[in-house]
Amino acid sequence: MLKKALESILTSQESGELVSAFDQIGDIIIVRIPDSLLSKKKLIGETLLKNVKIVKSVFYQASPVEGDFRTRNLEILAGEDRTETEYKEFGCRFIVDVENAFFSPRLSTERERIANLIQDGEIMVNMFAGVGMFSIMAAKKKKCTVYSIDINPIASKLCKKNIELNKIAGKVVSINGDTSKIIEEQLQGKGDRTLMLLPERSDEFLESAIKTTKDGGIIHYYSHIHADKKSDAGKLSEKHYLEVTPVKSEILTSKIVRPVGPRYYQTVVDVKISK
Ligand SMILES: C[S@@+](CC[C@H](N)C(=O)[O-])C[C@H]1O[C@@H](n2cnc3c(N)ncnc32)[C@H](O)[C@@H]1O
């Protein structure tokens, strides 16, 4: 649909380059534009706004996702200069702010996988929860309690809003602050399951993840791995986890979550730990 929308202003090779660089989130489109097409960015924005139904704003992603909050700078190309929108996924509703709090529609398959793994009655600690996507989806699907921690005050505030929006007060608890400190002070030995979705810094926070997880509990350890052969990425991340973990661990599974660069993958290793 996006390719078709750009047919009148780009060659098919140019629009091919662009299509994998789009995200549509509610009524907002975010586009990453290669240097060769930067001179046409306004035209691209205006064309998308005119031709894609329901879209009210088109932004150009002017920086990579960066910093402690994992956010990005956006530049308005066409439409309303507003970065908050509503996004729906698997029957859940989320208010997201695409510039001021981390959000990626590309993790939806992983969110569904985690929600399906949870057993009724579980406690999950979501160490890097953002606006609560994983937490809320899990609590909507299963009878569980989720501690949903994030250091970005805007993310934690949106998480609270999303808890209300999805009518799951009491099942998800939004906590703002540094996850290591919160775990140390309030959540030691609490979790049947711990989610560590800050792949660039997993090793730094592994000790806290172990601290918050019960003996026999499960940690979902995310990382970024270079692999010449795509099929090796899962095994390489298992190997890395086993090299860095200080506790006895049974590997349950590993897989690629998504590609993040040439021969570079975001992976997850599910492990059962014994303390
Ligand atoms: C990659 S995002 C994941 C967000 C969420 N799990 C999702 O998929 O939407 C990582 C999140 O970790 C948060 N973060 C970074 N350092 C943190 C820390 N020390 N304690 C708590 N949260 C932190 C960032 O603000 C960001 O929202």
Mean pLDDT of 82-106: 96
Q: Do 125 and 214 share a domain, yes or no? A: yes
Assign residue 40 the CATH number of its domain.
3.30.300.110
Q: Do 125 and 248 share a domain, yes or no? A: yes
Q: Read off the pLDDT of residues 175-215 as tens digits, 9 standing for 90 and up.
A: 999 999 999 999 999 999 999 999 999 999 999 999 999 99
Atom of ligand 1 at shortest range from CA of 104: 9
Of 17-31, 79-93, 126-140, 242-256, give the lowest mean pLDDT range: 17-31
Q: Does residue 220 fall inside a structural domain?
A: yes
Report strand pairing: 74-79 vs 22-25. Answer: unpaired
Find the domain containing 71 and state its range: 2-82
Q: Do 124 and 217 share a domain, yes or no? A: yes
Assign residue 160 the CATH number of its domain.
3.40.50.150
Confidence of residue 1 (pLDDT cuts 50, 70, 90): low
Distance, in Å, from the CA atom of 57 to the CA atom of 30, rounded to the nearest integer, reads 9
Q: Is residue 270 within a helix (H) or strand (E), and if so which, with residue range?
A: strand 264-274
Q: Do 122 and 193 share a domain, yes or no? A: yes
Mean pLDDT of the residues in the chain: 94
pLDDT for 271 beyond 70: yes
Q: Does residue 147 fall inside a structural domain?
A: yes
Q: Do 161 and 258 share a domain, yes or no? A: yes
Distance, in Å, from the CA atom of 8 to the CA atom of 10, rounded to the nearest integer, reads 6
Q: Do 107 and 78 share a domain, yes or no? A: no
Q: Is residue 3 within a helix (H) or strand (E), and if so which, with residue range?
A: helix 2-5
DSSP secondary structure of 205-262: HHHHHHHHEEEEEEEEEEEEEE-SSGGGHHHHHHHHHHHH--SEEEEEEEEEEEEEET
Atom of ligand 1 at shortest range from CA of 107: 8
Q: Does residue 183 fall inside a structural domain?
A: yes
The pLDDT value given to residue 156: 98
Q: Do 129 and 47 share a domain, yes or no? A: no
Where does a domain end: 82, 116, 138? Answer: 82
The pLDDT value given to residue 95: 98
Confidence of residue 22 (pLDDT cuts 50, 70, 90): confident
Q: Do 151 and 75 share a domain, yes or no? A: no
The pLDDT value given to residue 255: 98
pLDDT for 3 beyond 90: no
3-state secondary structure of 78: strand
Q: Does residue 87 fall inside a structural domain?
A: no
Q: Does residue 24 fall inside a structural domain?
A: yes
CA distances in angstroms from 65 to 72, 136, 141, 142, 260, listed in the order given: 5, 23, 29, 31, 12
What distance in angstroms lies between residue 27's CA and the mean position of ligand 1's atoms?
Answer: 24
What distance in angstroms lies between residue 151's CA and the mean position of ligand 1's atoms?
Answer: 7
How would you class 217 by CB atoms within 10 Å of its CB: exposed for 0-12, middle for 13-18, buried for 19 or more?
A: buried
How many domains does the chain contain in total?
Answer: 2
Where does a domain end: 51, 82, 113? Answer: 82
pLDDT > 90 in the chain, percent: 85
Task: Pick from 151, 159, 205 the residue to mutate for probing ligand 1's pocket: most ligand atoms within 8 Å of its CB.
Answer: 151
Asked if residue 2 lies in contact with residue 14, where contact means CB atoms within 8 angstroms, the answer is: no
Mean pLDDT of 243-247: 98
Dihedral-angle region of residue 132 (phi above 0 means left; psi in -120 to 50 means alpha; beta otherwise): left
Distance, in Å, from the CA atom of 45 to the CA atom of 52, rounded to the nearest integer, reads 11
Cβ neighbours of residue 190 under 8 Å, at least 6 residues apart?
123, 125, 147, 212, 214
Q: Read off the pLDDT of residues 118-170 as tens digits, 9 standing for 90 and up.
A: 999 999 999 999 999 999 999 999 999 999 999 999 999 999 999 999 999 99
Where does a domain end: 49, 82, 115? Answer: 82
The pLDDT value given to residue 19: 60
Contacts 24+ apart (CB under 8 A), 101-104: 101/69, 101/71, 101/130, 101/131, 101/152, 101/154, 101/155, 101/158, 102/65, 102/69, 102/70, 102/71, 102/130, 102/131, 102/152, 102/155, 103/25, 103/130, 103/131, 103/133, 104/23
Q: Does residue 95 fall inside a structural domain?
A: no
Distance, in Å, from the CA atom of 83 to the CA atom of 254, rounded to the nearest integer, reads 34
Q: Do 215 and 139 share a domain, yes or no? A: yes
Asked if residue 241 lies in contact with residue 219, where contact means CB atoms within 8 angstroms, the answer is: no
The pLDDT value given to residue 14: 80
Q: Do 233 and 111 share a domain, yes or no? A: yes
Task: Pick from 70, 107, 185 the residue to mutate for probing ligand 1's pocket: most ligand atoms within 8 Å of its CB.
Answer: 70
Q: Does residue 234 fall inside a structural domain?
A: yes
Task: Pick from 114, 146, 150 the residue to mutate for probing ligand 1's pocket: most ligand atoms within 8 Å of its CB.
Answer: 150
Q: Read off the pLDDT of residues 52-87 as tens digits, 9 standing for 90 and up.
A: 889 999 999 999 999 999 999 999 999 999 999 999
Q: Do 179 and 248 share a domain, yes or no? A: yes
Here the tokens at position 219 are: 């940690």
Mean pLDDT of 235-261: 97
Q: Do 38 and 116 share a domain, yes or no? A: no
What distance in angstroms lies between residue 142's CA and the mean position of ligand 1's atoms?
Answer: 23
pLDDT for 35 beyond 90: no
Q: Does residue 123 fall inside a structural domain?
A: yes
